[in-house]
Amino acid sequence: QITLKESGPTLVKPTQTLTLTCTFSGFSLSTSGVGVGWIRQPPGKALEWLALIYWDDDKRYSPSLKSRLTITKDTSKNQVVLTMTNMDPVDTATYYCAHSPRVAAGLLDVWGQGTTVTVSS
Amino acid sequence: EIVLTQSPGTLSLSPGERATLSCRASQSVSSSYLAWYQQKPGQAPRLLIYGASSRATGIPDRFSGSGSGTDFTLTISRLEPEDFAVYYCQQYGSSPTFGQGTKVEIK
């Protein structure tokens, strides 16, 4: 059974850097084709795809946020970390991580419960 | 970047009715890399359909997807009470994007 869980601060100040960790079980990020992605959702708004990292360390980023995002993996710890620099109140959202299966790169078939991040001074 | 436009924004229907949701892409979606997700209040999205028309594991057969190129449709043949939710389409090519969502509400 695949599970994912997001963790990180619930409150960050403007201009700070956000670091979120996705800890997963039930699969390995060393398996060919597998990936983990990050998605966010501002309150009452639509989903926004942020980034995805694959088993071979290939990384994809949202073009509009690419300059602010870094995604890394620690295969031995079953973790993926997303950092977002220069946080702003508009970045207030629920942040999700999700599993991307080997058979369909970029598809998100199992999601974590999400973690809420508020950006405020 | 491929922009996905979903319509209508809100669909007001009664249980037992048929729901038809549209997702239109600004350019052709390669290899039908189009998915549909369902999201209920306070919950994470759940994958319903991938590859434009394949149901994910455990998804009832009242949910079906169709389309190719730039026009895709999610159909719920007979709405059950638990189907009232927000639905998102996603293209999962090299730079994935989501549509803005369609809310299916009880009439």
The 3-class secondary structure across B37-49, one letter per residue, is: EEECCCCCCEEEE
**The two structure tokens encoding residue B103:** 């809310």
User: For residue B52, which residues of chain A lie inside 8 Å, CB to CB?
Assistant: none
- pLDDT given at position B95: 86
Pairs of CB atoms within 8 A across A/B = 60
From residue A5, alpha-carbon distances to A74, A99, B75 in Å are 15, 11, 31
Contact in structure between A97 and A112 (CB atoms under 8 Å) = yes
The rounded average pLDDT for each run of 10 residues, N- to C-terminus, in chain A (121 residues) is 97 98 96 95 97 94 96 97 98 98 88 98 95
pLDDT in tens, chain B (107 residues): 899 999 999 999 999 999 999 999 999 998 789 999 999 999 999 999 999 999 999 999 999 999 999 999 999 999 999 999 999 999 998 789 999 999 999 99
- pLDDT given at position A104: 83
Q: Is A26 exposed, middle or buried (0-12, 13-18, 19+ CB in 10 A)?
A: exposed
How far apart are alpha carbons A82 and B42 in whole angstroms? 22
Q: What are phi and psi of B30, to 5 degrees?
A: -65, 140
Q: Which residue of B has its CA nearest to A96?
A: B44
How far apart are alpha carbons B93 and A106 in whole angstroms? 7
A111 contact B CB<8A: yes
- Asked if B37 and A107 come within 8 Å (Cβ–Cβ), the reply is no
> A13-46, pLDDT tens digit by residue?
999 999 999 999 999 999 999 999 999 999 999 9
- pLDDT given at position A56: 93
Q: Is A92 exposed, middle or buried (0-12, 13-18, 19+ CB in 10 A)?
A: middle
* Angle at the Cα of B19 from the Cα atoms of A93 and B88, rounded to 5 degrees: 20
User: For residue B1, which residues of chain A lie inside 8 Å, CB to CB?
Assistant: 63-64
- pLDDT given at position B85: 97
Q: Which residue of B has its CA nearest to A47?
A: B98
Strands B10-13 and B102-106: parallel
- Asked if B92 and A105 come within 8 Å (Cβ–Cβ), the reply is yes
Peptide bond into B8 cis (omega under 30): yes
Nearest to A113 among B44, B95, B97 (CB): B44
- pLDDT given at position A103: 78
Nearest to B95 among A60, A96, A104 (CB): A60
- Asked if A114 and B44 come within 8 Å (Cβ–Cβ), the reply is yes
A106 contact B CB<8A: yes
Closest CA to B25 of B47, B7, B50, B10: B7
Nearest to B44 among A48, A96, A107 (CB): A96
Closest CA to B60 of B38, B44, B86, B40: B38
User: For residue A113, which residues of chain B lie inside 8 Å, CB to CB?
Assistant: 44
Contact in structure between A81 and A72 (CB atoms under 8 Å) = yes
How far apart are alpha carbons B102 and B43 in whole angstroms? 16
